[in-house]
A and B are shown apart, each in its own frame.
Chain A
Amino acid sequence: MKTLSGKLAHFSGKLAHNARLILFIITLLLFILAAGAPCATGSVGI
């Protein structure tokens, strides 16, 4: 029982870490898309 609860705690801890990491990457992605101002061929509709 103790092992099972330990495994569950480990799994949920890992899941929480990965979820926060993904959230961090998404926030960073949105920030650089909004903060950057490069102008590429074919992306501006002319």
Chain B
Amino acid sequence: MILLLAVVLGLTAGLCRARIGKRKYRYEELKAPLLVLVAFIPQYLIFFLPSTRALIPNRLASILYIGSLIPLIVFAFLNIRINSFWPISAGFLMNALAIVLNGGWMPISPNMVQKLHPHSAEGAWRIGERLGYSKDIVLQPEATRLWFLSDRFSLPEWLNYQVAFSLGDIFIFTGVVLLLWSLGGKQQISYKGEKQ
């Protein structure tokens, strides 16, 4: 949800920028967009669709999740030449690294889980196990590989919306806002005469 906010923010700002500058809002020609769909479908079944996510065992889910990262890595590298796409790719690669090195799930500390779910029932989550149907696994920071890439950030409490996110997510958020903002600006011509 927090990453969807980046799309809304970036798109609104970019459209306003284009309108003020009396320009057409542009788009980028993404290479191999079908790879994203190939990656998203298994993730949709594992994490988002209630009727299927309850049926898929955690072991199979982690294998499918890691498998879905492969087309995304290819897509990220194919499109890294696009302006402002590199922070998105870098953020994704940070997340992917943390996930692969921690058994196929994004690590989150028990303290952060407690903060997110202060009223969860006893035994609703355990250290070393997947957190509900999320992409996360509950791990102590000292047992986490590349702890600094885990879901260790949260929003201020006064916002009344609790979410844990990683450094990679911050890169993705920033990259999406910058990319969608830049598409409302003037088209840049590189020194080779290529439009960017």
Measuring CB to CB, which residues of chain A are less than 8 angstroms from any residue of chain B? 17, 20-21, 23-25, 27-41, 43-46
B163 in complex: contacting residue of A23, A38, A45, CB < 8 Å: A38
A38 neighbours in B (Cβ, 8 Å): 1-3, 151, 163-166, 169
Interface residues of B (CB under 8 A from A): 1-4, 6-7, 11, 24-25, 27-28, 30, 33, 36-37, 39-40, 43, 50, 53, 68, 72, 75-76, 88, 91-92, 95-96, 98-99, 106, 108, 116-117, 120-121, 124-125, 131-136, 151, 161-166, 168-169, 172, 176, 179-180
Contact (A36, B133) CB under 8 Å given A30-B40, A31-B72: no
Question: Known: A23-B33, A39-B163. Contact between A34 and B134, CB under 8 A?
Answer: no
User: Contact: A33 with B30, CB < 8 Å?
Assistant: no
Which of A21, A31, A40 is most buried by chain B, counting CB atoms within 10 A of its CB? A31
Instruction: Enumerate 10 A-B pairs (CB-CB under 8 Å) in ascending A order.
Output: A32-B4, A34-B40, A35-B72, A36-B168, A37-B106, A37-B135, A38-B166, A39-B108, A40-B116, A44-B134
